[in-house]
Amino acid sequence: MSRLFYQTRLERPQLDRADGIYMWDVTGKRYIDGSSGAMVSNIGHSNPRVLAAMKTQMEKSTFGYRLHFQTEASEALAERAAGLAPEGLNRVFFVSGGSEATESAMKLARQYALTRGQAQRYKVISRMPSYHGATLGALSVTGYAPMTAPFDPMMRAMPKIPAPRAYLDGLDPDDPATGAHYAQMLEDKILEEGPQTVLAFIVEPIGGASTGALVSPAGYMQRIRQICDHYGVLLIHDEVMTGGGRTGRFFAAEHWDVAPDLICLSKGFGGGYVPLGAVIARDDMVEAVLDAGGFIHGHTYAGNPLACAAGLAVIDEIEENGLMANTCRMGAHLKSRLSDLMQKYPMIGDVRGEGLLLAFELMADRRSKTPLPVEFNAFDRLVEIAYQNGLIIYSRRTRGGLSGDHFLVCPPMIVNEPQLDELIGLLDQSLSQFMAEVPS
């Protein structure tokens, strides 16, 4: 028995090596990494530029505590990240993962409110379903009962509004009235809670595992910005999964040309090479907090030079190889191939997403959007069948009465058409095996 444990008893073969979009276990079996791990390995595995940058940095220093030294790598990465962020968001606070980014953004928002004499503002509204991280603070804004309920007494659960799942509600996501309809739920919630108590709203511009690549409906992101401005509520974009080019833009919110007050970034920022994340904040917010005595927050590995050197090389690779343009092209190809599968398998009730953050959802009935019976165990079974066939796709137990069985198909941004066709072939084969198992 292994000494190691994770969430469940799930046993997996030992990983031997990985290169590009492929991974091999120690028996020599090859897998297509069709989910970039957990939507992390955006530029693929074993990228020579990143490995070389890490080696160079390793030979100089691997740790410089932030209270003792600045490092060239962390300064340079902060500069690059700020350069990619919307105007006015120029200050970068490094962390080592997505949950830390969520925590840091909420704490910075709170301290900024205190500098403005708004001690009564502490509520962070979020959406149901949503995922913002596994630590207790991040869980308080996570909209997913199976993960939060056991810890309820240990945290202050924050107010939630429904995520804009137009496809389930029979609304047209391209109609601006749909965006306005869901954004109104935010205004209603702010008024219900009392605007003077609401600190921030945290939102994934394009959803990740919780909603299965849910793209915000037309006008939603813009309207939310207006509502937040009107009530003095800070807007946090959680771009932990979407940031770093996965949707075809460096930040997903660029699709709507809206700027938040704070951005959370992680997964693709380190690209699977190092644990790395960041909060990018409005300059004046950071100045106010620093002037008032400082940000009461920080983690030991923040701004680690090795992590930052890798992060810089990841951005170089994305920019110099046109990986965001490739993501748009390959995303369109993959989406159309997934839509072909939707024609073939009536159980696929929806295909959605942007760039290479794509998902399909299985349903018992497409028209009524009836979910599959829970006992079909689709989220586990289909992932398992695909895995046995050498294809990694991503699913999360999203049930709890909230969602259906959606599967993320998110290969690295370096993927090409023949590789996507190979991926679709394996998915087709896996779906037909799964359908054969399903009671008629």
Verify binding: residue 102, ligand PLP, rule CB under 6 A.
Answer: yes
Secondary structure (H, E, C), 252-318: HHHHCCCCCCEEEECHHHHCCCCCCEEEEEEHHHHHHHHHCCCCCCCCCCCCCHHHHHHHHHHHHHH
Cβ atoms of 269 and 276 closer than 8 Å: yes
CA distance 430 to 386: 5
Q: How many angstroms separate the CA atoms of 48 and 168, rounded?
A: 44
Closest to ligand PLP by CB, 133 vs 311, is 133
Cα dihedral 344, 346, 349, 354 in deg (nearest 10): 0
Q: For the sheet containing 198-203, what is the strand order? A: 89-95, 277-282, 262-265, 234-238, 198-203, 123-128, 160-162
Is 266 a residue that touches ligand PLP (CB under 6 A)? yes
CB of 294 to ligand PLP, least distance (A): 25
42 near ligand PLP, judged by CB under 6 A = no
How many residues at the interface with ligand PLP, by CB under 6 A? 16
Out of 37, 64, 97, 243, the residue judged to bind ligand PLP by CB under 6 A: 97
Give the footprint of ligand PLP on residues 162-221 (CB under 6 A): 204, 208-209
Q: How far is the CB of 403 from ligand PLP (least distance, A)?
A: 15
- Closer of 369 and 397 to ligand PLP (Cβ): 397
CB-based burial of residue 154 (10 Å sphere; 0-12 exposed, 13-18 middle, 19+ buried)? Answer: exposed
Closest approach, Cβ 158 to ligand PLP, in A, equals: 15
Closest approach of Cβ 108 to ligand PLP, in Å? Answer: 16
Binding string, residues 49-68; x marks residues near ligand PLP by CB under 6 A: --------------------
Least distance to ligand PLP from the beta carbon of 274, Å?
Answer: 12
Which residue spans within 73-149 are E strands per DSSP? 89-95, 123-128
- Selected binder of ligand PLP within 95, 240, 330, 414 (CB under 6 A): 240
How far, in Å, CA of 277 to CA of 75, rounded? 14
- Residue from 109, 233, 241, 281 binding ligand PLP (CB under 6 A): 241
Residue 99 binds ligand PLP, judged by CB under 6 A? yes
Kindly tell me which of 133 and 390 has the beta carbon lying closer to ligand PLP: 133
355 binds ligand PLP, rule: CB under 6 A:
no
Report DSSP letters for 359-393, one per residue: EEEE-SBTTTTBPPPGGG-HHHHHHHHHHHTTEE-
132 binding ligand PLP? (CB under 6 A)? yes
Candidates 20, 37, 86, 98; binder of ligand PLP (CB under 6 A) is: 98
Which region, judged by CB under 6 A, interacts with ligand PLP, from 127-135, 312-320, 345-353, 372-380? 127-135
Establish if 133 lies at the interface with ligand PLP (CB under 6 A): yes
CA 435/CA 278 separation, integer angstroms: 42
Nearest Cα to 256, choosing from 227, 207, 215? Answer: 215
Q: Which residues bind ligand PLP (CB under 6 A)?
A: 38, 97-99, 102, 131-134, 204, 208-209, 238, 240-241, 266
